[in-house]
Structure 1
């Protein structure tokens, strides 16, 4: 069975020119069948992605002690994560991932209490302040990309609303103070940092937690997506595209009419070294206090809701306790079963 990530042009929603209904239909088809989309027509300037890449190179090129200085506790989804400090498979409750084994390193920034002055009393650590490294130009470049990715994510929710025949402002009601996080990942670690023998885990199998993820990535092999055939398939962005995938919140809303697709990173090892690969994922997760229930319009005749109502905050916290603190998520049986079936 062939596997392909569809390309969807969202320019009609960005520029106001073009056939929005065709874009919405193409998005619906992609989300029903794959859950990953190559998005073009997004309007993000090349200078923004170039600036982000340069900022990432500058930070990840720092000595280990300098990066460690901006590390935060596991419950605070900000700052630096060193290699082998996380295991994404535990976010799905896959107990066979018994140790923190994902060898990527990362740096996170996110929406803080100050981001939403009209929503006082937002809880910590969900809306924690950011911790910035002392790298010239880093914050400006990252803030620029954060703003562009946030714009694309919110544009995509308008596409989603049309594709699902929902009111145009449906997602506005659950994203007024969205838990938005940008995670910058680096896989090009110095020689000797990781053991290249045996099964190499770049980033373990996982689904994303929220509404939608906007991903910038190198055109380097490594990202793999679980297809409907039960096999893992390589995915790399086409020229000028951003990779977009759905998260668990959207799968819950749609009763899995739309797919929160399992994915992982298995970077190639060439001549005993890890080939250089970088990525930056912007997670648009929704309001911490938003209650997510299956949409009645997504429950067909004779069907039942597959999920009980849950707040975005409760769901995201359970996933993060797995990936960042090593606490197996016991509320992800459906996804864990998919992982174990794929492994088999």
Structure 2
């Protein structure tokens, strides 16, 4: 396995995959096994598209609160559209996170077999170009994510295309996140310590720092990718699938220093999910001396359990 510095998440280049797929798989997978995180440069998403997406994200969240709330679906679990400030709470946390967000999912044709569990997208009337930009970005994330899953399959000694059937028509979500300016006495933090639910998360970085991961030795490590790179991390579904060979690492977004608390923070994570009917069953090659998860579960049922835990769905 890859030997990496104990206090630094490696930076790998997705461009290396084309000429040396095995070497890239070892570098990327080794970082996942050691940290549950990797930083990925040359991910292939058009910088102009990303710039357009940032501008539209900021423009949307500047809309009046009453207008944003017209796109909120009470009882919808935050699956699509707007989720107001201080709604989501990390598992076992005592206070809600200091954030608001917007969710975009996969567009499904009429009559598709997953339409009963994957709701239609909600699109705001403003800003102009919102729908077109974020559907294009969603597709770009999908493409990059499949390349990274291919590397993970190689690392796990599976067929490089193993994940393709798992994520076809998957319930992935693109989240537009806004952490507003916060007063010095605000209770809680921007995002309390948590793990992600999905297979992998692809995160376009924020100008404002704050992302930290909990390392194996108990230290919190700041994760700040170089300009143009993204952060990628293991989600609980992949952790379960691999019997913790690839760990879903606890992470958080801490509040900034007092002099930066007047600044907003924006980020765009893409939560790559399998199809709702995909059965999360421990890979035989990862069982080792014992299987932590002898009972398989569908991706849909697992997602529902976790959304209840974080306060987005009621029991």
TM over 0.5: yes
Q: 3-state SS of the aligned residue for 2:28? A: helix
Is residue 2:219 matched to residue 1:219? no
Q: Which sections of structure 2, spanning at least 5 residues, go unmatched?
A: none
Contact 1:74–1:324 (8 Å) recurs in 2: no
- Residue number in structure 2 paired with 1:305: 291
Contact 2:40–2:231 (8 Å) recurs in 1: yes
For each residue in 1:156-186, what CA deviation from the matched residue of structure 2 results, as whole angstroms up to 9, or x when unmatched? 1111111111012211121112011001101
Counterpart Cα distance in 1 of 2:258 and 2:132: 34
From 73, 82, 85, the equivalent of 2:84 is 82
Q: 3-state SS of the aligned residue for 1:205? A: strand
C-alpha deviation, 1:262, in angstroms: 1.0
For each residue in 1:89-128, what CA deviation from the matched residue of structure 2 results, as whole angstroms up to 9, or x when unmatched? 22xxx2xx245x21111011101432xx7x832143x311
- Residue number in structure 1 paired with 2:310: 323
Residue pairs, 1:124-203, within 5 angstroms: 124=116, 126-135=117-126, 136-189=128-181, 196-197=184-185, 199-203=187-191
- Residue number in structure 2 paired with 1:4: 8
Contact 1:267–1:277 (8 Å) recurs in 2: no
C-alpha deviation, 1:231, in angstroms: 2.1
For each residue in 1:118-142, what CA deviation from the matched residue of structure 2 results, as whole angstroms up to 9, or x when unmatched? x832143x31111111111111221
Q: How many equivalent residue pairs?
A: 308
Contact 2:184–2:258 (8 Å) recurs in 1: no
Q: Normalising by the residue count of structure 2, what TM-score does the alignment of the two structures yield? A: 0.92
Q: 3-state SS of the aligned residue for 2:7? A: coil
C-alpha deviation, 1:221, in angstroms: 1.3
Contact 1:220–1:236 (8 Å) recurs in 2: no
From 114, 119, 128, the equivalent of 1:122 is 114
Moved more, 61-70 or 74-83: 74-83
Is residue 2:267 matched to residue 1:279? yes
Counterpart Cα distance in 2 of 1:327 and 1:186: 24
- Residue number in structure 1 paired with 2:41: 40
- Residue number in structure 2 paired with 1:231: 219
Counterpart Cα distance in 1 of 2:261 and 2:25: 43
Q: Normalising by the residue count of structure 1, what TM-score does the alignment of the two structures yield? A: 0.84
For each residue in 1:291-339, what CA deviation from the matched residue of structure 2 results, as whole angstroms up to 9, or x when unmatched? 1111111122xx11111311111111111112243769xxxxxxxxxxx
Q: Which sections of structure 1, spanning at least 5 residues, go unmatched?
A: 329-344
From 105, 108, 121, the equivalent of 2:103 is 108
Contact 1:109–1:182 (8 Å) recurs in 2: yes
Contact 1:35–1:261 (8 Å) recurs in 2: yes
Contact 2:101–2:175 (8 Å) recurs in 1: yes
Q: 3-state SS of the aligned residue for 1:287? A: coil
Per the alignment, do residues 198 and 182 of structure 1 end up closer, same or farther by CA in structure 2, a change over 3 Å counting?
closer
Counterpart Cα distance in 1 of 2:82 and 2:304: 19
